[in-house]
Amino acid sequence: MRKHPVRKFLGLTVLYAAIIVGIFVLQFKSESIISKAIGPLHISIAQTESDTNVTELKNQFKVTFKGISFSADDENPVVAKTDENSAGEKLVLKSFDETSLSASFTFNDGTVLTFHTSKADSDGELSVSARISDKFSSIEVPYKLSGNLTSEKLSKSHALLTAKKGFFMLTAHDILDNTVQFTKKDSVAMFVTYDPSKRFSYSTVVGLEGTSRASFDAEARRARDKFLSETEAILKTSAADSLSESAVTAYVAEMASRDRYNEAIDSVPESLRRENHRTYVSAPFFNTLAVMNRSLVVQTEQYSSMTASAVTSKNLDIFNIDGISDFIIREKKKSRITNLLSFPAQMADFKPTVVQAAGILNVYADLYKNDASVASLLEPVLAKCLDSIAQACSLENDAVKINNNGAALSVRQTIEVGNALAKYGDVSSKNEYAQTGYLIMNKALAAGLNVETAASVYHILAESNFYYPHTQILGYYGNTAVWAWTCARNISYRIDAENIVNIDIDFPQGLTNHIIFNGVPTFHGKIEIQGQMFRTDPRFETYNSSGYVYQTSTQSLLLKSRHKSSKETVRLFCDPTDSFSN
């Protein structure tokens, strides 16, 4: 070999090359890249195969959509934080799931990142939602732009992206140089086509006169003053019988907020208190609870039927039904609610009208305040809802005009759209949506409302007026809610160490309210009110004291609560249980 150094060199080169090739062959035999296309979404994930032929995901994925890509690996991972100042913890990809329009990535802490395209073709627009685990408050996801996109950051949460053939808008809680930040409160990012000449931008409204909460409160107060004076005038005439139950209920609530509760009750003519003129809505003021509870039972059954039908037919109108948020919260632990809240994101062509989009935003905001995990089921479609409303809006003379496919919205619908934007802006901490909502409502209110229209939106005008009859969730026995239809300031429901149910009712001293409790288990007639044991009596509402009736078939406790003090306690001696939770 010494005489043939060239032959030795060539031999070693071949040997080393064979070793290197062998290493690469073994590596690529055990590692592979999976590529998928979901409409305009292009996804790649890496996986490895063990010696026992078991495959598992590597901590590596990439999602590309029209020039923007979101990705993560061991060197540039998704990072979760407990607060803004924390160093953060690297998340590791554990599983991947897909539907016809979305791809979801689940990480080691339970956080789920979902990429959703609104359509399966090139017209689709992207929304990215993060369901962050209880351990953290925010996550940051790495992203890059392709070479044909340039970025101009308009604000902390908005970036205008320019391409050769048009513009895109990227929105998120915070858009950093290389990452997009999501929080539990602001968990959706959007990447949508933007046409500056045609598209309304929420950010253009910020700072205009009439966009503050204070300005809305002032307009709402003027509307309430006008409603009260006009309703009082009608009640003194023969036209009183023309008032709807909605108007009478709003009137009593408004009078009560001005310390005129008993005066309001007495001023309503007997003809408007009769059972055939009322439903459960006004029951907290005008008693006959046993009869009124029948209408509440019927209404609950109708909600059940309508939600089942909506899931089957994919009818988005369900989110505009009065009281649907309360029903969803009551039934939130049941699978039918999961189905209801999931179907919008599963629609192949999700195109909500302005009113439907507002309904979804309104329900989302209501649910978020009660249970963010339930609300999260609607997050994949929030971006499209906001975009649908924006497409119908234009800014003219410092007022937002809404074009509903060529038709004007009613005053009530306009106020409801504005309220939905304001509520969503509040829960997401995105001021541009809140300010747009207030401006829309303020312009509608400034034009003046008639009595019935004011009554139909009274819950918006007087959001904090507890006297307006409302649902209060008290807890759950397993999946079944305990809840009250009431005008009380607050009600609590707790089980003490002796397994006695204590119901604490907060209502002004000297006044009487009537409460329908549902989901209350039998207490075998053992009930204590104001420190005394009471017997049931079908005539309980006619006495000048508190009283009750219990309906076993519906688990309904019908209670007249005459307050000797502002806080009264009712004690129920129910059977012991360990299934109750607040």
How much is the pLDDT for 193? 86
Q: Give the C-alpha separation, 15 to 9, whole Å.
A: 10
Query: Mind listing the pLDDT tens digit for each residue in 99-133?
Result: 999 999 999 999 999 999 988 888 889 999 999 99
Confidence of residue 530 (pLDDT cuts 50, 70, 90): very high
**pLDDT at residue 4 tops 70:** no
Single out the residue of 300, 258, 302, 264 nearest to residue 282, CA to CA: 264
Which residue has 């685990």 as its token pair?
Answer: 133
Query: Mind listing the pLDDT tens digit for each residue in 388-398?
Result: 999 899 888 89
Burial bucket for residue 270 (CB in 10 Å: 0-12, 13-18, 19+): exposed
Percent of the chain at pLDDT > 70 equals: 94
| Ranges assigned E (strand) in 108-157 | 112-117, 126-131, 138-145, 150-153
**pLDDT at residue 25 tops 50:** no
Give this prediction's pTM. 0.76
Confidence of residue 422 (pLDDT cuts 50, 70, 90): very high
Helices (H), 236-375: 245-257, 261-267, 270-273, 283-286, 289-313, 324-330, 335-346, 354-370, 372-375
**Coil vs helix vs strand at 413:** helix
The answer to whether residues 325 and 375 touch, using CB atoms and an 8 Å cutoff, is: no
Give the Cβ contact number of residue 313 at 10 Å: 11
How much is the pLDDT for 14? 58
Which residue has better confidence, 27 or 40? 40
Mean pLDDT for the stretch of residues 548-577: 95
Give the Cβ contact number of residue 436 at 10 Å: 31
Single out the residue of 412, 396, 393 nearest to residue 354, CA to CA: 393
Which residue has better confidence, 292 or 349? 292
Q: Give the C-alpha separation, 442 to 237, whole Å.
A: 31
**Coil vs helix vs strand at 521:** coil
| Mean pLDDT, rounded, of the chain | 91
User: At 202, phi and psi to the nearest 5?
Assistant: -60, -30
Query: Mind listing the pLDDT tens digit for each residue in 490-511?
Result: 999 999 988 899 999 999 999 9
The answer to whether residues 572 and 535 touch, using CB atoms and an 8 Å cutoff, is: no
Residue by residue, DSSP assigns 21-90 as HHHHHHHHHHEEEEEEEETTEEEEEEEEE-TTS-EEEEEEEEEEETTEEEEE-SSS--EEESSTTS--EE
Which residue has better confidence, 578 or 77? 77
How much is the pLDDT for 141? 98
Helix (H) / strand (E) element for 492: namely strand 490-495
CA angle 320, 401, 173 (to 5 degrees): 70
- Residue 577 CB contacts under 8 Å (≥ 6 apart), including other chains: 477, 495, 499, 521
Q: Give the C-alpha separation, 575 to 97, whole Å.
A: 44
Query: Mind listing the pLDDT tens digit for each residue in 301-317?
Result: 999 999 999 999 999 99
Query: Mind listing the pLDDT tens digit for each residue in 135-188?
Result: 999 999 999 998 888 888 877 888 889 988 888 989 898 999 899 999 988 899
Six token digits for residue 562? 């005459």
